[in-house]
Structure 1
């Protein structure tokens, strides 16, 4: 970890596009101003951690939950000649060549 000392109105540059400026210092609190392109996400660590937890939870759907959803939805529409599961046995495939 790089540790730097800065005073009010001094800045730190990260890469070519991110600038962090010390805006105010009051007691044990430091206010930062961050200039970065919109494509670079900037979050407080506690917010980033919450986002990461929510994303992990959303991505970890259980197979029993998927089965329940599939049962609620049903097999869906079929097209002529294609079974509901969408799988055609090799001997059912028509040769069009």
Structure 2
């Protein structure tokens, strides 16, 4: 992991298209701004993990339903 020190209103570039700017430092919180192409999805990590978990649960339910339907069709 690359660790950088930045102050308010300083930025970090990632490639040509992404700029991360430190907007505000207040206590133990840091507000950041992210400029990136609109096709890139940007999530807070805890939200991203929740989305992944929901997708896995959803796909598992779909697999279960598919297996039930397959068994029902096989028995006919």
Interval containing the TM-score (normalised by the shorter chain): 0.7 to 0.9
Aligned counterparts of 1:53 and 1:68: Cα–Cα separation in 2: 24
- Equivalent residue pairs, number: 71
Using CA pairs below 8 Å that are at least 6 residues apart, which structure has the higher relative contact order? 2
Higher helix share: 2
Q: Structure 2: give runs of 5+ residues left out of the alignment.
A: none
Calculate the TM-score normalised by the size of structure 1: 0.65
Point out where structure 1 has 5 or more consecutive residues left out of the alignment. Answer: 75-97
Q: Matches of residues 69-80 of structure 1 in structure 2 within 5 Å?
A: none
Task: Normalising by structure 2, report the TM-score.
Answer: 0.81
Write the distance in 2 (CA, Å) between the matches of 1:45 and 1:18: 18
Match for residue 10 of structure 1?
10
Alpha-carbon distance in 2 for matches of 1:27, 1:41 = 28
**Residue aligned with 2:55, SS:** helix
RMSD: 2.0
Instruction: State the Cα distance separating 1:35 from its structure 2 match.
Output: 0.5
Corresponding residue for residue 33 of structure 2 = 33
